[in-house]
Amino acid sequence: MADALLIAILVIGAISLAALFLLLARERASAREAREDLTRSLSAFAQNVTTQLASGTGVQNAQFEALRGAVEQRLDRIQIVLGEGVHSVRCDLTPTRNGSAYVGNAMGREIVYERSRDDVKADLSRAAGFDR
């Protein structure tokens, strides 16, 4: 009787350990896929900005449209969200010393928004309905 009980406990323990191992493996795979997806979307964002900058036509309007979905836009900081869902990354863009662009880092990559403080100020006032 005691031997059967001991064997049943060992079998249940082994099954629990196997289930825990499978759950851990699935979580690691999910986290890896999320990192790869975030890296792909960040690369696509950087490539899109690079393509817009290389084309030279309508860059500022295209960039303004891209940042229209920014979480927060102020003159001293623009906060954007890269990616979607649980694995999204927030990035703070701050003006450069000479005020010619806004820069920030996301996952080791530099994000550059090539608009001056004056351009962003005009965009913010235009968005608020105060046309000059």
Confidence of residue 15 (pLDDT cuts 50, 70, 90): very high
Tell me the average pLDDT across 21-45.
81
Tell me the average pLDDT across 98-103.
88
- Choose the weakest-confidence range: 13-17, 36-40, 50-54, 81-85: 50-54
- Which H helix or E strand runs over 40? helix 2-55
Q: Looking at residue 12, what is its pLDDT?
A: 92
Q: Looking at residue 59, what is its pLDDT?
A: 41
Check pLDDT > 70 for residue 60: no
Sign for the pseudo-dihedral over CA of 62, 63, 66, 72? negative
Q: Which residue has the higher pLDDT, 103 or 81?
A: 103
Check pLDDT > 80 for residue 73: no
Dihedral, CA of residue 110, residue 37, residue 79 and residue 68, to nearest 10: 110
